[in-house]
Amino acid sequence: MRNSLRRSGFTLVELLVVIAIIGVLVGLLLPAVQSAREAARRMACSNNFKQMGIALHNYHSTFKSFPQQMGGSHYTHTADSRVTQRLYLSGLVALTPFIEQQPLWDTISNPYDRNQDGVWDPGYDFPAMGPGPWWTSYPPWMTNVSTLRCPSDTGVGSPALGRSNFAFCVGDNIQLVHSGGRNERGVYQSGDINSSGANIKSRGTGESSSWSSLAKERNRGMFWSRHRTRMRDCVDGLSNTIAMGEIATTVGQNEIISELRLNVGTDVLTDPSYCNGGVDPLRPEFWLPNSAFAGNMGTGNQIRGGRWADGRIQYTSFQTIKPPNSFNCFAGNDASQGISSASSRHPGGCHVVMGDGAVQFISEGIDTGNQNAPPAYGGQPSAYGVWGAMGTRSSRETVELPF
């Protein structure tokens, strides 16, 4: 007699069914996992913003003012940016001791003697507070400070110097907010208000009271470049006024949220919708190629958020004109006037920290008023709705806040 052997196992059909079920479950679970990861990154980013809000208040308690955006030493007898910052340092530099970066601050605030031999080496040594914030041979400017980064932002490495996802709010206007109306000597020097880089590099010493008035009318944000502001200046209330906001840094993909469009001409100074023509209508998250619109993209380390120590509007400032996750578009080069927008890599909006230190997530669908209107100035209500009103410190607008 033969003993029949019976084999146990899965048939091919059963195996295929199991694989299909597993595939469906993975497909269902992956979006949830990715969403959970982004929620964790967004929470970490919010925590960093909270630390910045605390740092602003601690700085104000210590020095009775907020840190100056575009500070440092004045232009003197020489244009050598190795020995003077020419009023280009960002307010983030002054905040380093208040965000647990005391060693970095100690390096910046003392002369940098690479060889520690007490002998000035013009090739490598720098004075206290460092050189101009574009110097790649100065180690502090190349440092990536973790507190200044959002975990959701994937931009890393060169050609940037040290990157930052934090920027100061300079209001809802375009003209003169890039320099605050002062030149590299800290002087109100008159000129053509509609020129692309009016007054930012001029080094004359003659003060102009009329130019001072023009600058005061247009610099309506919590921060005023090359000036110090205080809590008492915020007549609209600290809880109603944005102090800082989030900006995305470039990953080299021609995105409107993280690429600078430069040299587009002076039309952008009075018409916020002008650069709409440079956005790809089929892919509105991206710019058209350079040849399809005026100007060109920033190159080298002239990139969004690519210099944490540089106070110019392209690197560490923004306006409440275009809604969050909009473009960055400038009349001239990286010392020119234009539109700098808040942005992030979080879906649907970006973080801001209010003057009272509260952190809010602002939707990119927030009311932005009439985007074809020229910017308001003086005591006029903002032309850009709730978003514009949140960016001004003393215009006394009555708005319904989105939170």
β-bridge mates for residue 330, sequence order: 338
Give the tens place of pLDDT for each residue, 143-163: 999 899 999 888 888 888 999
Give the Cα separation of 150 and 154 in Å (integer).
Answer: 9
pLDDT at 1: 46
Cβ–Cβ < 8 Å for 286, 293: no
pLDDT at 2: 52
pLDDT at 78: 62
Cβ–Cβ < 8 Å for 332, 352: no
Cβ–Cβ < 8 Å for 221, 319: yes
Q: Which residues of the chain have pLDDT under 50?
A: 1, 403
pTM equals 0.88
pLDDT at 42: 83
Give the Cα separation of 226 and 88 in Å (integer).
Answer: 8
Task: Break the chain into its structural domains and give their ranges.
Answer: 47-403
DSSP 301-364: T-STT--TTB-SHHHHEE-SSSPTT--EEESSSTTS-EE-----SSTTEEEEEETTS-EEEEET
Give the tens place of pLDDT for each residue, 380-395: 999 999 999 999 998 8
Half-sphere exposure of 340 (CA within 13 A, CB side): 33
Give the Cα separation of 275 and 368 in Å (integer).
Answer: 16
pLDDT at 401: 53
Residue entry with tokens 């790649």 = 136
Residue entry with tokens 């080299």 = 252
pLDDT at 7: 56
User: How many residues are given for the chain?
Assistant: 403
Cβ–Cβ < 8 Å for 91, 223: yes
Give the tens place of pLDDT for each residue, 361-373: 999 999 999 999 9
DSSP 132-185: -TT-TTSHHHH---GGG--TT----STT-SS--SEEEE--S--TTTTTTTB-TT
pLDDT at 35: 57
